[in-house]
Amino acid sequence: MQKTRTVLVTGGCGFIGANFVRLLRAKRPEWRLINLDKLTYAGNLNNLAGIDEGPGYRFVRADIGDAAAVEALFAAEPIDTVVHFAAESHVDRSITGPAAFIATNIGGTFTLLEAARKSWSGAGRQGADSRFLHISTDEVYGSLGEEGYFSETTAYDPRSPYSASKAASDHLVNAYFHTYGLPTLITNCSNNYGPYQFPEKLIPLIIHNALQGRSLPVYGDGRNIRDWLYVGDHCEAVLEVLERGVPGRSYNIGGNNEMMNIEVVTQVCDILDRRLGLPATGMTRRTLITFVKDRLGHDRRYAIDATRIREELGWQPQVDFEQGLEMTVDWYLANQDWVAAVVDGSYKEYYRTMYGGN
Ligand code: NAD
Ligand code: DAU
């Protein structure tokens, strides 16, 4: 029989967190879910439209680095499970403004670990079923050449302020397992795409710009490789690890789907051309592609060896890239109001700083 849990999800108003909250409400409706989110530029209550507060769901607006707020929440609620998504997540922003990444990704994770440790050791909740699942990234492993894959034993070699802050938080999580016996788990996932992704990330940015008739910025030579995974598949993997993963372990999650950025961008253009016909110029949206200055320290290739999660937990992706990308483009076409609401003044300012123009 499934255990009934009281789950603290952090960052549940962001891209992956919101998809995960939706999955949990659908698949584990008997669990109580508390969503702690600061609502930064990347967090959006509209991502959870239709999920109403009640006995099964509560939203709390707070900073994960606010120890008093986090400890008060642990005191008020019988939390036995933490699924920690909240983070500053965009590599480019970590290059222009690393401080927030250090504060949230390292300091915030530390605050949560401390609150869980104190609460669970004091209240006898650190039973066999308590879990602290930390959502991390494949970027902690650094950059690959043409060969090889990241496995769970690959040495950490982060190269951006974002990935360094995530690596630091992973080390803290492991330290709490070894030192205090906190029942922690870590997942290291590759690039997600799908509904509710903020249009600063490659795929939604390209969709948005193409719909506006703007240039489509491709960094460097466009041949950097990422392994793309549909967000719904990632969320299913997280639930598997939460329920059946072995505490103290980390699990790599990937789509087995390596693509060069330029291939991803041309596929988005082709789907839009098929769905909407050619734009008024009469030319394919591929003609909007513009190669721009490379990202500083741009990692060349990420690729995941997901043997552990496949063999131990039987998880593998269900959505292939072609199908997932079509679903994603269709979601953005059908949710232009959502896009219009998030590309507000602060987005425009960010966009000007990154790409120039309007
Ligand atoms: P996102 O940027 O879309 O959302 C982050 C969420 O965290 C937002 O709702 C934001 O308001 C919240 N948040 C930020 N700082 C906070 C703070 N100090 N206190 C409370 N809430 C705060 O991020 P995402 O893409 O959904 O990523 C979620 C997690 O998954 C991150 O930990 C990220 O490192 C990891 N990850 C992301 C990807 C990807 O492709 N997007 C892949 C692997 C791992
Ligand atoms: O690998 C997992 C990581 O994937 C997560 O940990 C991060 O939170 C998530 O943001 C993502 O990081 P990337 O830097 O890989 O994603 P991004 O969408 O920013 O960029 C994907 C690739 O596309 C990367 O090689 C940079 C390139 N790119 C990106 C943007 C925004 C462009 O060429 N042009 C762009 O305008």
pLDDT of 312: 98
Asked whether residue 278 carries a pLDDT value surpassing 60, the answer given is yes
Burial zone of 220 (CB within 10 Å; 0-12 exposed, 13-18 middle, 19+ buried): middle
Which protein residue has the closest C-alpha to ligand 2 atom 14?
91
Q: Is 14 in the pocket of ligand 1 (CB under 6 A)?
A: yes
Asked whether residue 284 carries a pLDDT value surpassing 60, the answer given is yes
Q: Which two tokens stand for residue 102?
A: 């250090």
Distance 89 CA to ligand 2 centre (A): 10
- Testing ligand 2's pocket by substitution, the residue of 140, 193, 197, 226 carrying the most ligand atoms inside 8 A of its CB is 226
Ligand 1 atom with the shortest distance to the CA of 198: 3
CA distance 135 to 139: 12
> Quick check: 34 and 72 in contact, CB under 8 A?
no
Q: How large is the average pLDDT for residues 168-187?
A: 98
pLDDT of 3: 76
CA distances from 181 to 9, 128, 132, 184, 327 (A): 21, 11, 11, 8, 42
pLDDT of 342: 95
Q: Which two tokens stand for residue 319?
A: 């959505």
Asked whether residue 320 carries a pLDDT value surpassing 70, the answer given is yes
pLDDT of 345: 86
Ligand 1 atom with the shortest distance to the CA of 89: 2
Residue range 191-234, pLDDT digits in tens: 999 999 999 999 999 999 999 999 999 999 999 999 999 999 99
pLDDT of 125: 54
| Predicted model pTM | 0.98
Q: Active site includes 270? A: no
Q: Active site includes 349? A: no
Which protein residue has the closest C-alpha to ligand 2 atom 25?
224
Q: Is 13 in the pocket of ligand 1 (CB under 6 A)?
A: yes
Task: Kindly indicate the confidence band of residue 357, based on its pLDDT and cuts at 50, 70 and 90.
Answer: confident
CA distance 46 to 48: 5
Mean confidence (pLDDT) of the chain: 96
Cα three-residue angle 342-202-230, rounded to 5 degrees: 90
AA letter at 297: G
Q: How large is the average pLDDT for residues 108-121?
A: 97
pLDDT of 124: 54
Asked whether residue 1 carries a pLDDT value surpassing 60, the answer given is no
Residue range 329-352, pLDDT digits in tens: 999 999 999 999 999 989 999 999
Q: How many C-beta atoms lie closer than 10 Å to residue 258's C-beta? A: 19
Q: Any idea what DSSP says for residue 301?
A: B
Q: Write down the catalytic residue from 63, 88, 138, 240.
A: 138
DSSP state letters, 269-290: HHHHHHHH-S-TTSS-GGGGEE
Asked whether residue 122 carries a pLDDT value surpassing 70, the answer given is no
Q: Is 208 in the pocket of ligand 2 (CB under 6 A)?
A: no
Distance of CA 56 to the CA centre of its chain: 23
CA distance 107 to 143: 25
Q: Is 91 in the pocket of ligand 2 (CB under 6 A)?
A: yes
Distance 340 CA to ligand 1 centre (A): 21
Q: Active site includes 92? A: no
- The closest ligand to the CA of 158 turns out to be 2
Q: Write down the catalytic residue from 57, 162, 193, 196.
A: 162
Distance 48 CA to ligand 1 centre (A): 15
Q: How large is the angle between the packed helices 161-180 and 109-122, nearest 10 degrees?
A: 20
Location of structure tokens 């721009």: 292
Asked whether residue 2 carries a pLDDT value surpassing 80, the answer given is no
Location of structure tokens 């990308």: 325
Residue range 21-45, pLDDT digits in tens: 999 999 999 999 999 999 999 999 9
Asked whether residue 244 carries a pLDDT value surpassing 60, the answer given is yes
Q: How large is the angle between the packed helices 321-334 and 261-276, nearest 10 degrees?
A: 50
